[in-house]
Structure 1
Amino acid sequence: MLHAHYRWSTLKPNEQAVAKLTSEMKLPEMVASLLVTRGFDTKEKAEAFLSAGTEGLHDPYSLHGMEKAVARIRQALEGRERILIYGDYDADGVSSTSMMIRLMEHLQADYEWYIPHRSKEGYGLHNHALEAAAERGVTLVVTVDTGISAVQQVAFAKTLGMDVVVTDHHEPPAVLPEAFTLVNPKLPFCSYPFKGLAGVGVAYKLACALVDKVPSSWTQLVALGTVADLMPLTGENRILVSQGLVSMTEEPLTGMDALLQVSGSAAVNSTTIGFAMAPRINASGRLEHAKEAVELLITQDPDKAAAIADKLDLLNRERQQIVDDIVQDAVKQLEENHPDGTVPSVIVLAGEGWNVGVVGIVASKLVEKYYRPTLILGIDAETGMCKGSARSIPGYDMYEALTECADLLDHYGGHPSAAGMSLHRDQLTAFSASLNAYAEKVLNEEHYIPVLTADLECTLDEIHVQSIELLSKLEPFGMNNGCPRFLIRGTQILECRQMGKDRRHLKITLKQNGNVVEAVAFGKGPWAGLLTEGAVMNLVAEASINEWNGSRKAQLMLIDGAVDHAQIFDYRGIKNPWHKLDELFDHWQSLPENNKGKAALVARPDSGTKLYRQLRELPVWVYDRNAGLIMESAEAAARCRPEEVTVLFIADAPETPEQLNAIMASFGAVERIYLLHSAGEESERVESPTREQFKQVYALLRKAAEQAVPEPKLIGWLSDQTRLSSRMVTKTLAIFEELNFISRDRGMIRLNPAPAKRPLESSIRYNELSLLAEMEHYLLYAGISELTEWILGRMKGVS
């Protein structure tokens, strides 16, 4: 078996709405179903969504404070005041800052720009930066993607004689800064129709208010920041990102082109931005300073852009290694803090030397591993100050949770799903306790089970190049408009192999009703040891087109999968079964709990006792001629009951059907069986006896055994004459002896001249031989498909 990581659900579209949309818009039913489940259930809504036309953009002056912001900037332009653009160090902040720089250049303003250092300064406005700007003659500060919670800093700027125009999109706090004006669609008194703009989206709206015709290339920056900041790709964002992607495809900005080249991206879409471009932009601010990323996005020099892009690529690789190292440290710390294996409702971990530029990524990886709201903080060993990032799960509003314990924090800000904060290490214990207490109020058991929602249930024959091309009507994909996910049941695994660096990924070939499709599962390389050819797999996946050497074919991107039946793993006849058992046992120990269960070993009493001591954590059952199966030791019996075993290693094949029955009866919950016993040898093979064979042997006995014959000599001669194995001849003679057809005396065999007539079926040994032959045929000689079917049938019969 393979247990799904998620609890699956499937959206159920209104069938009448789907039928109507299919008819009115001449759409394929699959596309119509997706539109309906996403809320575009009428022709008018669907057309507006699909067209993504500029008529869907809102008047920038609908944003509260926009009129005042424009007036103040124009006043600064006329008076040749020096303007400071104050941004943030993430991809949205970098995009926003670059947008404002391009705007200031376009307006021929006297300006400068500033982004704080992530680890040395942290998020938000800083008094020392404002003071230095004032000394350089700055009289107007325009913030982008930051400032909505900078109450004290804005007040300080006013004492320096500077006005502050705040443009932001983060959640507004209860107390707002007394800036010259605030531009943020999330302000409670702002009536702007679309609340989901990224920081760069707000900056773009300011540009639209100030410039009659904004260059179309600026939408490339909107696309980058919006996708990178995980903003919803609906409403205005869908329109602006669509325009940005078209512009990026047709005539990319110099820096964008360099990013695309260094990332090796052939296609330009939201996935390219999210997984290729944004991480490299973010790497700059995470490990060094975000100013280099800004320089990349504003330069028009191809050589300079290429050099910066190469550096960001190297920084991104370094960032990946740092993240892996901190993840390992964090997991170790969590396990040490909770040796009983429990995981708290909210995970709070902090470490000295942890790079605060990547703690958000680490938090995301721990959420993926444990599915708990997670906060990861880096501690400054000298000052004791902690800076961190949080990632949450549905149902736990991280911003609200931080607000509940605001008295413990020096600073915080963010969204319901992600946030940043700083505090002293002395407050960490109380901080963790407060966050967990909040979880007790708002979360229940169901919140801790991750849910994976599929858009549609379909079959493999519906996944083809033409249907996938039709889905492109819904692009760009992203938050609130995800790439369609399909639930597909009952596919058969034809082949499964690991691929990629360190064999971290998996490629699975699936078949259903004659249709064959390849699936790729990123990060699921360990599944290779949990899947067998022929297994029936249910899965949730996205669909894409794989283009290679001019060939185009459908491909599934597997998100989660499950095998609902027990599986048999065939290592029969392997040269070193104990070494293989070591390897399999290590793999089993590394599995996540949902696929781990309890493991046990079955062997003969005289087999590999040294190994038992080596694998003392592995309970051992041994064959017994009378009981069928017994525990190897009382200590093992105390650790594990047979009904708890889900993984069974069989080192030696059972010698009798009774022993096999004992295995089936004892281990009723087994999910995976690993066969490590030797394969059968033809010279020792027993067969299901036939009347013809018995007649042939008996006829030969009448010729050879009227006088007493030595048993070894007779067995060899009968084996040569009948082509039966010596073992089969021996068992046949035992049946004849039970039926009194022959007699044995001191190693000699003699035929009884006038035996009583008795049917073969009356012999106990005859019936035992039939059962033994069947068991050995499957366990020692049959192919894995035939063997699996037989064992599963036996397991059902026992249950």
Structure 2
Amino acid sequence: MLKSKMKWKFPKKINDITNLNSNKFSPLIKELLLQRGVSSDEEAEKFVSPDLNNLQSAELLADIETATERVHKAIALDEKILVYGDYDADGVSSTAIMIKTLQELGANCDYYIPNRFTEGYGPNEKAFREAYKHGCRLIITVDTGIASVHEAAIAKELGMDLIITDHHEPQEELPDAFAIIHPKCSHDYTFKELAGAGVAFKFAQSLLNDFPKQYLDYLVIGTIADLVPLIDENRILAYYGLKALTTSEKPGLIALKKVCGITEDVSEEDIGFSMAPRLNAVGRLQDADLAVQLLLTDDQDEADQMAETVHSINQKRQKIVSDIVKEAEEMAAPTEGQGVIVAAKEGWNQGVLGIVASNLVRKYDRPAIVLSIMPEEGVAKGSARSIPAFDLFSGCMKIRDVFTQFGGHAQAAGMTLPLDNLQRLMTELNSIINEQLSDEDFTQEIEVTKTIALPEINEALVEEISQLAPFGMGNPKPVFHIKALPADARKIGANKNHLKMQFKDNTKTLDGIGFGFGELYAHLSPKTDVSIVGELNINEWNGFRKVQMVMQDMKIDEMQLFDHRGAKKFDVMPYVSLSGEHAVVKQAAADSSAFPDNVHFVGYDTDNKHLSDVHNLFLYDLPSDLATLQALVQQLNPQNIHVCFQIDDSAFMKPFPSREDFKWLYAHLAKRKKIDIKKEAAMIMEAKAWTYDQIMFMANVFFDLDFVKIENDVMQLSSNPLKKDLSESAVYQERLKKAEIEKVLYYSTYDELKSWLFNCMDDRHTLEEELVNGL
């Protein structure tokens, strides 16, 4: 057995798909649509074929008309307008949309992105005062500002008008701004999940009095990068945005796609895993101006140079993240009952702490807060990420007074707090989490779309599923489950840290690739079905196209037998998990202290009643009889059995004398009266083609039955021996028993041994059923 790392959550089976009558959709697509809450042909058509005409009017956003009038007035008066953005991919995309829109309108405008390290997140008083000194009288925030109560008051004090466009969670007090354009502050605007770029795009639409399709390529980057739900309007905007980004002629986007190695149609995965991380990296390690300049430039040579610099910054970012993750894991591995991870250290780069926190969440299944300590200021600044079961924003708002600054979403947040509050943060948030969550909530879940059989998997299926793209939050890429016997499995990659399996069904094959799954190779046993869940895609290589499953998790439901018989060096540790109990049957247990506490050395003759239901049973020593082993297996009830037997002196492989052999030797002794075994053994061996072991064995059997006496290697007949059968000799029976044990446990085939051991377990389960039923 092999436990999955995540909880596999299957949807309720949908038997009735009659509400979707259109012949345009296959039964699978209908099932997937129903899982997504699409229950009519009209809704299905809208989902599969997004239409820009189904977008809500930008005018439904509160304050947008007031804000539009103010901007046009500023343009008419040639007032200087400052676009105040954020340093992540959504923020720089929003900034690019707004600057390009204002330039198109002929505005006197500039942009400002705060420095993450010297200014922190969001608007700040110093920046506003500097803007005023430089003649600015109107500030437009994009992807930020909804929590800037103090900064809005400063703007008003200075005589500057402030227009806030944002999508982050509004807090208890809203800023006193000239206008706030925010879906969640707009009663009439029913879709609340626009990204910052989406809100900026809507404002651009109002300012231009036209749909700004020329900025869809910017919009899609911010929308997908910020992980907003790709449903409703976001789905429509992302769908057309990907098409626009694929054909975009903007030099910066051409250069960015080039360094990302994107040569074909741009997908949501290209943005999420390649383009957005590079744009984010700039603001994480330095001033984010370079990212905005890359998006805005009209010069291709300049764009190519900037894109290369951005790519280099991202490589540096990856190295920094790797180093901090290692340090954070060493200092913050959670103990029992700990609901939240808090890691803090001086010198950590604040720009990558969100990524570090995400790594810790994935590894430990706990909300994680990672902070950089700034002793000169007496504060810690950083980021937090959560698990699906815990709303981080709501939880932290319950202890808002712990922080000097705080903002974010249910799953991600940024914060600053006094150093003296670190322990309080951990204690109070830990208490809130443990009060709200159960143990099961700390296990990652994976939503499995459905179980599918190998014959159903082909290129046409993958192409059919692509009708539901773009995939993302709220519209996840389908995850399928298959259970099958691998025809082949091997570790791949330079460090052999990936696992590749191949499944065959008649003429069809399916490759399963598990990145980072290399350690699971040791947990595969012959002729055992494995269950895997993952996404289907088409792997193109050297002109060949082949469907493959990118595995996300794996498990094995049945008890397994691992055959290590005869292996000179076998290490149990790759199979030993920190949870559960493991048993080792090995007399030479002097090195047991080198093993974790959950590894128990036991014997066939020891009292093992304290131990049962072990994960792994490692059998090094052969038992004295098969019944003893059977009893041990039934007592320990292992999920997996590892046979590690070694034999140096085999009874089974030695020739066993026949009854005729015994008769000849006895007759020879009767004739000779006595035999000096040392002197005459060679002659007998040559005459009968026997081994020395055969002669000594027969002599010991005769001695055991009192047929002979042996002194100083001289064997002679006993006087008046009783008539006995050879089977009455303990030596004879012990040799037979030892040979039978070796035959069953050591010289058997894998299938024979598996059948014998599993029958032991079947006997146990039969007995348990009888006891339960009172028999």
TM-score (norm 2): 0.89
Deviation at 1:695, TM superposition (A): 6.0
Matched, 1:528 2:533: no
Counterpart Cα distance in 2 of 1:384 and 1:661: 65
SS of 1:206's partner is: helix
Report whether the alignment pairs 1:664 with 2:630.
no
**Matching residue of 1:597:** 580
Q: Aligned with 2:156: secondary structure?
A: helix
Listed one character per residue, the Cα deviations across residues 286-307 of structure 1 (whole Å, up to 9, x for unaligned) are 1112111112222233332232
What is the Cα deviation at residue 644 of structure 1? 6.5
The correspondence of residues 448-597 of structure 1 with structure 2, limited to 5 A, is: 448-489=442-483, 491-500=484-493, 502-511=495-504, 516-575=509-568, 577=569, 580-581=570-571, 584-585=572-573, 587=574, 591=577, 593=578, 596-597=579-580
1:385 to partner: Cα distance: 1.4
Residue 190 (structure 1) shift? 2.5
Residues 649, 673 of structure 1: 8 Å contact kept: yes
Residue of structure 2 in register with 1:27 after alignment: 25
Measure how far apart 1:496 and its partner are: 3.3
CA contact (8 A) 2:637 2:761 kept: no
**Taking structure 1 as reference, are residues 14 and 672 closer, same or farther at Cα in structure 2, changes over 3 Å only?**
closer
Letter of the 1:554 counterpart: V
The amino acid of 1:8's aligned partner reads W
Instruction: For 1:86, give the aligned amino acid.
Output: Y
Give the AA of the match of 1:201.
G
Q: Select 2:345's aligned residue among 347, 351, 361.
A: 351
> In the alignment, residue 639 of structure 2 is paired with which amino acid?
E
- State the distance in 1 between where 2:196 and 2:366 align: 28
Is it true that 1:99 corresponds to 2:111 in the alignment?
no
Cα pair 1:520 1:555 within 8 Å, conserved: yes
Q: Residue in 2 aligned with 1:794?
A: 760
Once structures 1 and 2 are overlaid, which stretch shifts more, 204-213 or 358-367? Answer: 204-213
State whether residues 59 and 206 of structure 2, in contact with CA within 8 Å, keep that contact through their aligned partners in structure 1: yes
- Contact 2:651-2:738 within 8 A present in 1 as well: no
**2:534–2:552 CA contact under 8 A, matched in 1:** yes
Q: What is the SS of the residue equivalent to 2:566?
A: coil
| 1:55-85 Cα deviation digits (max 9, x unpaired) | 2211111111111121111111111111101
CA distance in 2, matches of 1:736, 1:513: 61
Match of 2:771 in 1: none
**1:296 is paired with a residue of what secondary structure?**
helix
* Cα offsets for 1:470-521 (capped at 9, x unmatched): 11111111101111011223x2234433333543332223456885422112
Say which SS state the counterpart of residue 612 (structure 2) adopts: helix
Q: What one-letter code is carried by the residue in structure 1 that aligns with 2:586?
A: A
Q: CA deviation at 1:52?
A: 0.9
- Number of residues of Structure 1 aligned to a counterpart in Structure 2: 761
CA positional deviation for 1:546: 1.1
Correspondence for 2:200 among 194, 200, 203: 203
- Identify which range, 100-109 or 713-722, moves more after superposition: 713-722
Instruction: Determine the structure 2 residue equivalent to 1:634.
Output: none
- For 2:223 and 2:695, the matched residues in 1 are separated by 79
Task: Judge which range, 213-222 or 756-765, deviates more.
Answer: 756-765
Which one is further off, 311-320 or 57-66?
A: 311-320
> Equivalents in 2 of 1:261, 1:47: separation in Å?
35
Matches within 5 A, 1:663-742: 663-665=632-634, 668-678=636-646, 685=653, 694=658, 697=661, 707=671
Aligned partners of 1:724, 1:232: CA distance in 2, in Å? 82
Provide the rounded CA distance (Å) in 1 between the counterparts of 2:631 and 2:714.
37
Gaps in structure 1 of 5+ consecutive residues: 632-636
1:136-175 to 2 correspondence within 5 Å? 136-175=134-173
- SS of the residue 2:9 aligns to: strand
Report the secondary structure of 1:129's partner residue.
Answer: helix
- The farther-off stretch of 528-537 and 63-72 is 528-537
Residue 289 of structure 1 pairs with residue 255 of structure 2: no
Report the residue type matching 1:99 in the other structure. Answer: I
- Give the 5 Å matches for 1:234-633: 234-251=231-248, 253-265=250-262, 268-335=266-333, 341-489=335-483, 491-500=484-493, 502-511=495-504, 516-575=509-568, 577=569, 580-581=570-571, 584-585=572-573, 587=574, 591=577, 593=578, 596-604=579-587, 607=588, 609=590, 611-612=591-592, 621=601, 628-630=604-606
- Compute the displacement of 1:425 (Å): 0.9
Q: What's the CA shift string for 1:172-226, capped at 9, x where partnerless?
A: 1121111111111111x43212111100011111112222555544212221111
| Mapped partners of 2:366, 2:596: distance in 1 | 33
When residues 656 and 242 of structure 1 are mapped into structure 2, their CA distance, relative to the original with a 3 A threshold, is: same
Cα shift at 1:743: 5.2
Partner of 1:643, secondary structure, is coil
Against the structure 1 CA distance between its residues 653 and 745, is the aligned structure 2 distance closer, same or farther, given a 3 Å change threshold? Answer: same
CA gap 1:658/1:409 in 2 versus in 1, 3 angstroms: same
3-state DSSP of counterpart to 1:152? helix
The answer (yes or no) to whether the contact 1:208–1:214 under 8 Å persists in 2 is: yes
Structure 2 counterpart SS, 1:323: helix
Whole-angstrom distance in 1 between the partners of 2:445 and 2:23? 32
User: Contact between 2:708 and 2:715, CA under 8 Å: does it hold in 1?
Assistant: yes
How far apart, in 2, do the equivalents of 1:287 and 1:570 lie?
A: 51
Secondary structure in structure 2 of the residue aligned to 1:275:
helix
| Distance 1:630-1:105 versus aligned 2 partners, 3 A rule | same
TM-score, normalised via structure 1 length: 0.86
Amino acid at match of 1:12: K
User: Offset at 1:285?
Assistant: 0.9
| 3-state SS in 1 of match to 2:169 | coil
Q: Which amino acid aligns with 1:3?
A: K
Q: Does the 8 Å CA contact 2:582/2:615 hold for their aligned counterparts?
A: yes
Counterparts of 2:649 and 2:508, CA distance in 1: 38
1:120 aligned partner: 118
- Between the aligned partners of 1:722 and 1:365, the Cα distance in structure 2 is 73
Displacement of 1:703: 8.1
- CA separation of 1:332 and 1:426: change in aligned 2, threshold 3 A: same
Whether 1:647 and 2:620 are equivalent positions in the alignment is no
**What is the deviation of 1:232?**
0.7
8 A Cα contact 1:621 1:630, kept in partner: no
Aligned-pair CA distance for 1:600: 4.3
Quick one: structure 1 residues 749 and 671, their matched pair in 2 at CA, closer, same or farther if it must change by over 3 Å? farther
How far apart, in 2, do the equivalents of 1:126 and 1:738 lie? 99
Q: 2:772 — aligned with what?
A: none
What is the match of residue 86 of structure 1?
84
**Residues 673 and 309 of structure 1: is their aligned pair in 2 closer, same or farther, counting only changes over 3 Å?**
farther
Q: 1:570 to 1:71 in 2, by over 3 A?
A: same
Is contact 1:217–1:244 with CA below 8 Å preserved after alignment? Answer: no
Q: What's the secondary structure of 2:360's corresponding residue?
A: helix
Distance 1:370 1:718 in 2: 71
Residues 645 and 669, structure 1, Cα contact 8 Å, conserved in 2? yes
Q: CA deviation at 1:154?
A: 1.0
Aligned-pair distance for 1:9?
Answer: 2.0
**2:229: which partner in 1?**
232
Unaligned regions of 5+ residues in structure 2, if any?
Answer: 766-775
Change over 3 Å in CA distance of 1:617–1:76 after alignment to 2: same
Write the distance in 2 (CA, Å) between the matches of 1:728 and 1:744.
18
Q: Percent identity?
A: 35
